[in-house]
Structure 1
Amino acid sequence: MDNIYLYMLIALTILAVADIIVGVSNDAINFLNSAIGSKALSLKTIMIVASLGIFIGAVYSSGLMEVARKGIFVPAEFNFHEIMLIFMTVMITDILLLDFFNTLGLPTSTTVSIVFNLLGAAVVMALIKIGASDTQTFADLGDYINTKKAFEIISGILLSVVIAFSIGAIVQWFSRLIFTFHYTDKIKNFGAIFGGLALTAILYFIFMKGLKGTPYYSELKGYLEGNEIYIILCGFLLFTLLSFAYQKITKKSILIIVIAVGTFGLALAFSGNDLVNFIGVPMAAYHSYEAWSVSGASATDFTMGVLSKKMPAEPFLLFIAGGIMVITLWFSKKAKTVAETEISLSRQSDTHEKFKPNLLSRSIVKGTTLLTNALTVIIPKSTQKKVNASFQKPDSALLLTKDQSIEAPAFDMIRASVNLMVAGVLISIATTMKLPLSTTYVTFMVAMGTSLADRAWGADSAVYRVAGVLNVIGGWFFTAIAAFMGAGLVVFLINWHPAVMTPILLLLTVILLVRNYLSHKSKSLTKSEDSLKNAESSSLQGVIHESTNNIANVVKRGNKIYSNAINGLAKQDLAMLKKNKKQIDKLSLEVDNLRDNIFYFIKNLDESSVGASNFYINILGYLQDMTQSLEYISKASHKHVNNNHKKLKFNQIKELKEVDGSLEQLLNEIKDAFESRSFEQIGNILNREKNIFKVVSEKIQKQVERTRTEESSPKNTTLYFGLLLETKDLLKATMSLLEEYHNAHDASVKPAKLTPENKEEA
């Protein structure tokens, strides 16, 4: 039995490595997004700077390791056996929870996850002990939990949401008021002062305050304490002079240096604060095993009061952990997926919104709009005019399409600098107070506060952005609840039979991690495959050729969606129909995104090619008609099977298959014509229009006759007529699209007809 604890320790070590990989994939957004979003530095430079910050910051985390040992529960109330079960539970649950969020591409808090995992596991283990005792009751639960410290940590995490958002918004508002969006000239004049302030703030709180969490602080304590004001003043003067010299010598903006130093500092602060989330529990387990192995007592008799004492920092292990974090940062693809969420929510220009608006987001936007309107009555018009002038965006940004804006910087270097400066300072303050503040909470809410102050959430995007923020915050609360309940369930199962349940749960963890990795990899590879592209050409001929890919794409995917709907209906295959419904939703969304881009398309057209707008608008209209018909067919089929209605009769299925065969042949010919640019085939296809419609009309007539004589199911009749009528609408939209394309293509390549006057001149 004793060997099981050694195996647990080995498993915890492996889980620690996995937790670092999963955790960094989630938390890389904390220190990368500002630099990536502003595109002030190359991605390689950003990664190198962040890697150095992570590696050095690993040493800073030693002061926070006690949170895992005694911050949530009272270790003296548990024996070694129980503590090891708690630690094993926490690591398993933490990894699965974080990987779940990474796979979804949503940032969550590793701090919230570890805190509530510890709390859930400790509470359930305490309840098990109380249940087995004759003298204790539920009222004694407080003896097992460090309620004061736990409440302090949890309240600090929640409070950080409000503080980070508010400070980020205030600092950004004043920064934008001073520098405006046209900040190039002002940075030349005042950039040295801004650089001095930013660099002093970042480096003072990162290094001076951060040093208090390390074992090296005692050696420097005499030089630092009592001299803080002098250090800040000297730092400000030094960094201001260095900023001035940098701008004069290189002719570059000091904001580049601020962003580089801020990324380094934030990565360092992240590593110092969050490393405890990944290896704090395994290190506490190692110290527990070390103390128990030399005690000579049995695992169930050896109480863990030793964890309440100060433990060695293990710098070597911290450096190894830092190295694993750096490697993960460079190679994790999930980190990039999670980063996209925060960047899209804080993007200054329009983008493809990831979240759908909800009742709460609409209410918040409406309430804020009413408040803003009320304030405009109070504030003098002259003041409003001056403030609005500072927030006036460059005209060039207004003409970018959504796809172009995604390629452009998400926000400028002023906002990136504020994000890094404010987040770094707040996290460093928490680190010196030995509070495991959620770096995800802080960096995310600072970014949201600065984007709000920067008016990135305009009337056209606010409801989507607010919905996104609410989704992420809701995800944090879900993390807390899921971590508490999940850890409680897992510790109950492990405690039931450790020798059996531990390997089973470890195997399940490995299976789920591998499955999620393969699923994410598959999605990443197929994400851009067959996706629709916005037209960017400024001439009619160019738009015609650009549209061919979209038409071929919709026809190809529509053909598959139609066939799957009919086959799923024939086989009563609910899984196929459900998957098919998702495919048509995706296609419909892409077509809607093309329509949303019409404003930018028309704005960018040449004066001589305005006629291209009519063609493009008509094409998008027909594509939307096609997807709407496919949507009805797919969803009606799914609804029929999902509601367990009667299966369609053999003749009905047979006739639908005949229609599907004819339609499949037609759509394949259309796809081939557009893919090969064989536009002469379009005319031949149009000539067969009547034959296709005739096939569908015959089936409708047959069903009318069946309904009068033998059909007994109203639901079947409704579904069958609905499918055939929508098929007719699908064919009409398809043929109208072909005709529009055929006419426009002919007009763009054939010379204008000679009029009688032209003939005389000729």
Structure 2
Amino acid sequence: MDNIYLLMIVALAALAIADLVVGVSNDAVNFLNSAIGSKAISFKTILIIASLGIFIGAVFSSGMMEVARKGIFVPGEFYFDEIMIIFMAVMITDILLLDFFNTIGLPTSTTVSIVFELLGAAVIMALIKIGHNDAETFSALSKYINTDKAVEIIIGIVASVIIAFTIGAVVQYLSRLIFTFQSEKKMKYFGAIFGGIALTAISYFIFMKGLKSTPFYGEFSSIMESYSLLMIGSSLVFWTVFSQLFMVIFKKNILIIVIAVGTFSLALAFAGNDLVNFIGVPMAAYHSFLDWSASGVVASEFRMSSLAKQVPAEPLLLFIAGGVMVLTLWFSKKARTVSDTEIDLARQGDGHEKFNPNMLSRFLVRGSTQIATYLEFIVPQSLQQKIDKRFEKPVIDLPKHKSYEVPAFDMIRASINLVVAGVLIATATSMKLPLSTTYVTFMVAMGTSLADRAWGRESAVYRVAGVLNVIGGWFFTAFVAFTAAGTLTYLIFIGKGAMIAVLLLLAILLLVRNYLSHKNKVKLKLEKSGLKKTESKTVQGIIQESAENISNVVSRSNKIYTDMLRGLAKQDVKKLKKSKKGVKKLNDEVEELRDNIFYFIKNLDETSVSGSNFYIVILGYLTDVVQSLEFISKASYKHVNNNHKALRFNQIKDLQEIDLYLEALLNDIDDIFHKKEFERIKNVLDKKEEIFASLSNKIEKQIARTRTEESSPKNTTLYFSMLLETKDLITALMNLMEEYYTSYKKS
């Protein structure tokens, strides 16, 4: 029986490595995004700097490990076998929860995860103990749970969200008033002071305050505390002089150094603050195992009071953990997916929005707009104009094909993000408060975005919805972490070793499944099989580039239409649902092209403005095609999903004949536009009347059937809907072909 605990330690060690991988994949967003979004330094350089910060922070991270040992529950009230069940349930839950968020690309909090998992597992284990003890009631729960510390941690996490957003917004607003968006000019006069303040804040709060979490702090703590003001003053003078010399000698912006040092320091703080979330539980389990092994007492009778004592960190384990974190940073593709979410929400310019607006986001934006309107009456007009002038953005004349080179935000905002987040995280770390680095960095970034007027009338409702979705995910994390860890604790208590084996196998299967799912998504994204935005500035170029999109839409429409008819014939709900999803994806891509019309027209040459009319008309016809498909797919899915009578044999046969006709037509159109043999369009147009005559014939046959033999109103409605929408689809295609053929001959 004793061997099971040794196996559990081995399993926890493996889980710790896996947790490091999924944890860093989630949290890399915290310290990479400011540098990535501003494009101040190359991506490879960012990774090198962050790797150094992570490794050093991990190796010297010892102070926070106590949270996993005694921060949430009272260890002396639990026996060794109970503690091991708690730790095993927590680690399995943590890996699966973080990997789930990484897969869907949302940043969540590793701190909140571990805190609520420990809380959930400890509460359930305490309730089990209370249930087996007739002398105790539910009120005895406070004896087992360190409620004061748990409440302190939770309040600290919630407060950090509000504080981070507010401070980020205020500091960014003041910085923008000083530097405006023309920071290059202002940096000549204020750059050295700004650089001095920023680098002093980073160096003091990270390198000095952060030393409190290391075992070396006691040796010189009295000196630092006695001369802290002198050290801050000296540091400010040094960094200000350094900033000025750097700008004069190297002729470069000091903000590059601020962003580089800020990235390093934030990575350092992340490792010092969050390493406990990944290896704190396995290390506590390891020390528990050593204490129990040396005692010679039965596992179910050995109280874990030893966990309440402070234990020195294991340098070798910290070294290995740092190495795993660095490797994950370099090779994890999921880290990039999570990173994209925050950068999209914080970017300065317009573009495709990832999140859909909801009722709450609309309410908040509408309310904020009304408040802003009222403030306009209070603030003098002259002052408003001066403030607005400070927020005027420079016009960047960059070729369309190089638009990806435009940074999501400038270096001023990136610097503020790093400095404010670093100060807040380092302060909490020095106070031994495991606040959420994800919450702090995310909310600082959102606060600076709002203050920087990145959320305009065109994008605010989408950005606010995105922030609300992420915050909602955080509450979901807490609820699921508590519930899942508690459930697994109970299952392991009942099933013992067999249940642990089953849960570990299930965890492996889910991790592999999520990995393959994410890999396929990335692969599809790289293949770029979707519709492409037209970037040409001439009519001839627009015609050529539009051909690819038409070929794409026609090819996919052909497959979707055929699949829908097959699903309808076989009453296959899954196939119809899949077709409905395919139509939605196609519709979203066409909608994105329509959203890009403004930028497309702006990009045209003066001599080719007439091409905009052609492009808009073509997009209109493509929209009509997709809308017809959407109507057919929804009607078909609804009919089968509601278990209405299947279409009659004659109806299916007629629809299959139409499908064969339509398939041949769409294959011809696809081939014409794929090969760009536009002379062949006339051959297709010549078949127009023949196709419409065939559809009219099918409609007349159904009218006759309805009067004599048809008995199902639902079938009749569906069948007529499909015929009429198919006719609309073909009409849109023919109109598109005529427009294209006319423009091609003119050009």
Q: What TM-score do the two structures reach when normalised by structure 1?
A: 0.97
Task: Report if aligned partners of 1:20, 1:324 keep a CA contact under 8 Å in 2.
Answer: yes
Deviation at 1:354, TM superposition (A): 0.4
For the pair 1:431 / 2:429, whether they are aligned, the reply is: yes
Q: After the TM superposition, which residues 515-554 of structure 1 pair with which residues of structure 2 at under 5 Å, given as runs?
A: 515-527=513-525, 528-554=527-553
**Deviation by residue 1:705-727 (Cα, 9 ceiling, x = unmatched):** 11111111111111111111110
Report what 2:457 is aligned to.
Answer: 459
* More displaced stretch, 558-567 vs 26-35: 558-567
For the pair 1:225 / 2:225, whether they are aligned, the reply is: yes
For the pair 1:569 / 2:568, whether they are aligned, the reply is: yes
For the pair 1:710 / 2:709, whether they are aligned, the reply is: yes
Report what 2:406 is aligned to.
Answer: 408
Task: Report if aligned partners of 1:29, 1:338 keep a CA contact under 8 Å in 2.
Answer: yes
Distance 2:683 2:281 in 1: 71
Q: After the TM superposition, which residues 45-444 of structure 1 pair with which residues of structure 2 at under 5 Å, given as runs?
A: 45-396=45-396, 406-444=404-442
Which residue type is aligned with residue 695 of structure 1?
S
Task: Report if aligned partners of 1:346, 1:451 keep a CA contact under 8 Å in 2.
Answer: yes
**Deviation by residue 1:675-698 (Cα, 9 ceiling, x = unmatched):** 111111211111111222222222
For the pair 1:671 / 2:670, whether they are aligned, the reply is: yes
Report what 1:603 is aligned to.
Answer: 602
- 2:470 paired residue among 460, 472, 476: 472
Deviation at 1:545, TM superposition (A): 0.7
Deviation at 1:404, TM superposition (A): 6.2
**Deviation by residue 1:3-57 (Cα, 9 ceiling, x = unmatched):** 1111110000000000010011111100000000000000000000000000011
Where structure 1 has 5 or more consecutive residues not aligned to the other structure, the ranges are 749-762
Task: Report if aligned partners of 1:181, 1:390 keep a CA contact under 8 Å in 2.
Answer: yes
Distance 2:542 2:22 in 1: 44
Deviation at 1:744, TM superposition (A): 0.4
Q: After the TM superposition, which residues 22-61 of structure 1 pair with which residues of structure 2 at under 5 Å, given as runs?
A: 22-61=22-61
Which residue type is aligned with residue 509 of structure 1?
A
Task: Report if aligned partners of 1:351, 1:406 keep a CA contact under 8 Å in 2.
Answer: no
Where structure 2 has 5 or more consecutive residues not aligned to the other structure, the ranges are none
Deviation at 1:406, TM superposition (A): 4.8
Which residue type is aligned with residue 468 of structure 1?
G
Distance 1:631 1:732 in 2: 16
Distance 1:710 1:488 in 2: 61
Report what 1:645 is aligned to.
Answer: 644
Distance 1:619 1:547 in 2: 8
Q: Secondary structure at the match of 2:266?
A: helix
Report what 2:512 is aligned to.
Answer: 514
Which residue type is aligned with residue 92 of structure 1?
I
* More displaced stretch, 679-688 vs 261-270: 679-688
**Deviation by residue 1:442-490 (Cα, 9 ceiling, x = unmatched):** 0000000000000000000000000000000000000000111111111
Distance 2:595 2:732 in 1: 20
Report what 2:490 is aligned to.
Answer: 492
Distance 2:528 2:535 in 1: 19
Deviation at 1:367, TM superposition (A): 0.7
Which residue type is aligned with residue 674 of structure 2?
E
Distance 1:80 1:320 in 2: 26
Report what 2:500 is aligned to.
Answer: 502
Distance 1:209 1:657 in 2: 74
Deviation at 1:396, TM superposition (A): 2.6
Q: Secondary structure at the match of 1:181?
A: coil
Report what 1:759 is aligned to.
Answer: none
Report what 1:754 is aligned to.
Answer: none
Distance 1:252 1:506 in 2: 53
Q: Secondary structure at the match of 1:497?
A: helix
Deviation at 1:405, TM superposition (A): 5.1
Deviation at 1:379, TM superposition (A): 0.9
**Deviation by residue 1:321-364 (Cα, 9 ceiling, x = unmatched):** 01100000000000000101000000000121000000000000
Distance 2:657 2:251 in 1: 72
Which residue type is aligned with residue 256 of structure 1?
I
Distance 2:655 2:203 in 1: 71
**Deviation by residue 1:527-565 (Cα, 9 ceiling, x = unmatched):** 243211111111111111110111111111111111111
Distance 1:430 1:404 in 2: 42
Which residue type is aligned with residue 257 of structure 2?
I
**Deviation by residue 1:95-138 (Cα, 9 ceiling, x = unmatched):** 10111111111111111111111111111111111111111111
**Deviation by residue 1:377-408 (Cα, 9 ceiling, x = unmatched):** 111111111111110011237x987x965542
Q: Secondary structure at the match of 2:182?
A: coil
Q: Secondary structure at the match of 1:28?
A: helix
For the pair 1:14 / 2:14, whether they are aligned, the reply is: yes
**Deviation by residue 1:149-178 (Cα, 9 ceiling, x = unmatched):** 000000100111100000000000000000
Deviation at 1:148, TM superposition (A): 0.1
Distance 1:367 1:150 in 2: 36
Identity %: 66
Which residue type is aligned with residue 245 of structure 2?
A
**Deviation by residue 1:626-684 (Cα, 9 ceiling, x = unmatched):** 01001011111111111111111112112111111111111111111111111112111
For the pair 1:579 / 2:578, whether they are aligned, the reply is: yes
Task: Report if aligned partners of 1:349, 1:405 keep a CA contact under 8 Å in 2.
Answer: no
RMSD between superposed Cα atoms in Å: 1.1
Which residue type is aligned with residue 521 of structure 1?
K
Which residue type is aligned with residue 499 of structure 1?
G
Which residue type is aligned with residue 428 of structure 1?
A
Task: Report if aligned partners of 1:400, 1:600 keep a CA contact under 8 Å in 2.
Answer: no
Q: Secondary structure at the match of 2:226?
A: coil
Q: What TM-score do the two structures reach when normalised by structure 2?
A: 0.99
Which residue type is aligned with residue 598 of structure 2?
F
**Deviation by residue 1:390-435 (Cα, 9 ceiling, x = unmatched):** 10011237x987x965542000000000000000110000100111
Which residue type is aligned with residue 701 of structure 2?
K
**Deviation by residue 1:179-206 (Cα, 9 ceiling, x = unmatched):** 0001111112211111000000011100
Distance 1:493 1:701 in 2: 65
Task: Report if aligned partners of 1:110, 1:438 keep a CA contact under 8 Å in 2.
Answer: yes
Distance 2:684 2:179 in 1: 61
